[in-house]
Amino acid sequence: MVVWPNDTNLAVALTFEFDAEMYWYGKDPKCIKTFANLSRGQYGPHEGIYRVIKMLDRQEVKATFFIPGWVAENYPEQVELIHAKGHEIAYHGYMHEEKRGISRAEEEERMEKCEKIIAGITGKRPVGHRGPGSIIHPFTMELLAERGYLYSSNMKNTNSPYFHAHNGNNVVELPVDEYLDDATYYFFSYSPFTHNNIHAPNFVNDCWRTDFDALCQEPGSVLVFKCHPQLIGRAGRVRRFSELIGYMKTHGAWIAPAESIARYVLAQSE
């Protein structure tokens, strides 16, 4: 069991999936043909991302951005800004692909392509992985170990970090949770896979703060927020999220990029 640094109670990773239009493409290619959805996707790079970055600056915290390769190619200014501000950039597919049953070769090719794109911006290959739409494949962990990834942030089976071991390589798992995903509260569309429910940010804070408070009582836990600039980037939502970040800081949270948390976990285990 990990003991977090500097007398903190809980490691907290603020992660953002900067998907832009690709958020909709991965779900059903027809969705992307609906102007409304396309436009909603663009709210991220046009508006939401700037608000999120400003808020993180104000709170003086560093975050992790999972960015599809296509988004990095098409919104270079925004992605460079994320990097310039000192946040981590990690793997999230090329066009936010959510198809299951692909071959190992296909995934490997995609990883190679996207790792190069990210390295072109940050100067190094990503060390973290999150499958778009929560999709990973039976060989994903093996690939991560082979390709020198430090962590995966995909599984939903627990609240504390653990290891995926392959041939002597340890990939840290920083588990996630549907209820710490802003899409559960803010995702809205009239398109086929309808989810017609928008919640108030205070309501969301009630849910998230309660989980935070409870996990502070369980040593060695980790809390990974999974947000989307096109969703949480609305003015009211970012503001409330900022308040929650303030609350967590006051209550013993160690807020750090996923990479830092994973490195710490690995170091503690050695």
State the residues that interact with other proteins by CB under 8 A: 100-101, 131, 133-138, 140, 154-159, 177-179, 181, 183-185, 187, 193, 195-197, 199, 203, 206-215, 218, 221
Shortest distance (Å) from residue 262 CB to other proteins: 18
CB of 56 to other proteins, least distance (A): 24
SS3 258: helix
DSSP helix/strand/coil, 252:
coil
Select 126 or 201, whichever has its Cβ closest to other proteins: 201
Could you tell me which of 161, 116, 109 has the C-alpha nearest to residue 139?
Answer: 109
Please identify, using beta-carbon distances, which residue of 16 and 75 lies nearer to other proteins: 16
Q: Which is nearer to other proteins, 6 or 196 (CB)?
A: 196
* R_g over Cα of the chain: 17
**Tokens linked to 181:** 């995903």
- d(Cα 20, Cα 229) in Å, to the nearest integer? 8
Least Å distance between CB 209 and other proteins?
8
Residue among 135, 140, 225 nearest 176 (CA): 225
By beta-carbon proximity to other proteins, the closer residue of 95 and 136 is 136
Polymer length in residues for the chain = 270
Question: Rounded to the nearest whole angstrom, what is the least distance from the CB of residue 212 to other proteins in the complex?
Answer: 8
Nearer Cβ to other proteins, position 50 or 139?
A: 139
Could you tell me the end-to-end alpha-carbon distance of the chain, in angstroms, rounded to an integer? 12
Of 13 and 82, the one with the shorter C-beta distance to other proteins is: 13
Ranges of beta strands (E only) in 96-189 are 128-129, 151-152, 162-166, 169-173
Q: Which is nearer to other proteins, 28 or 73 (CB)?
A: 28
Distance of CA 130 to the CA centre of its chain: 7
25: tokens are 């493409």
Please report the beta strands in the chain, taking only residues with DSSP state E, as ranges in sequence order.
10-17, 64-67, 88-91, 128-129, 151-152, 162-166, 169-173, 222-227, 253-255
Greatest Cα pair distance in the chain? 52
Minimum CB distance to other proteins, residue 139 (Å): 11
